[in-house]
Structure 1
Amino acid sequence: MSIFKSIRQWASRIKRDAVTLWFAYRHPGAPWFAKALAAFVVAYALSPIDLIPDFIPVLGYLDDALLLPGLIWLNIRLIPRDVLEECRARADGWMKEQGAKKPRSMAGAALVVAVWIGVAIAFWAWLNNRS
């Protein structure tokens, strides 16, 4: 198997698992801590805005290549196996029905914008305290 095919399969599993977490967040059998992490991960994964913009060399792709897959992996491990299997089946069905269409999360975009505003305020306060 070529490396490009392996990467495509890995990316497909990541996308499916992000949609799986979307269903797990709403599943009554998922523990509260898994739901809380799923809400954060799904909001960020489906946000049209990245926390670290892609135009920043190296760091721009760090969240897409390491942070997001790591959070998805952790969240998948926190969900009970029976709930996970049911949510994966629902995700597979949803992806077959929707095709390449990716859901969007305006809550995720708002979260990213709030983080950037918080960083800007903290930086401004730090600069004012230095003088």
Structure 2
Amino acid sequence: MRQWLIGLAVGAGLLLASWGLLIVLARRLPPGILRDLAAFIPDCVTAVRKLRKDPRVPRRAKVAVIVAGVWVASPIDLIPEFIPVIGPLDDIVVVALALRYAGRQVPREVLLAAWPGDPRLLERLLGQPKRSPEPVDGDGPV
């Protein structure tokens, strides 16, 4: 009986630690986006299907978006879906991080073409595109 209680305590501790990790990762997302992300999970599944077939997407980015798609489709969650507000948080954080990772490796136009929802949400998630460095005196054309 005692070993069973120890196992239960360890399992509960690991679950709480994983929730804490997800909250920390969620805080790294751009401000104000968490509420918007709750509406974009179905669009993510569609985008994953399109991106995994696109030859312009590198293998590492495909793996990231496929893992995110499997995570969303999986019935097993770190945070049960029936818990209000934070229930879908683990799905949202994993998908957002995978899309941000893919956004660094895939041309923005490819991601936007695969995204069936409001492009402003994806643009907000990906952040500002990186610009090429400004020429320093003497480096640019005269």
Structure 2 length as normaliser, TM-score?
Answer: 0.43
Query: Between Structure 1 and Structure 2, which shows a larger proportion of helix residues?
Result: 1
Structure 1 length as normaliser, TM-score?
Answer: 0.46
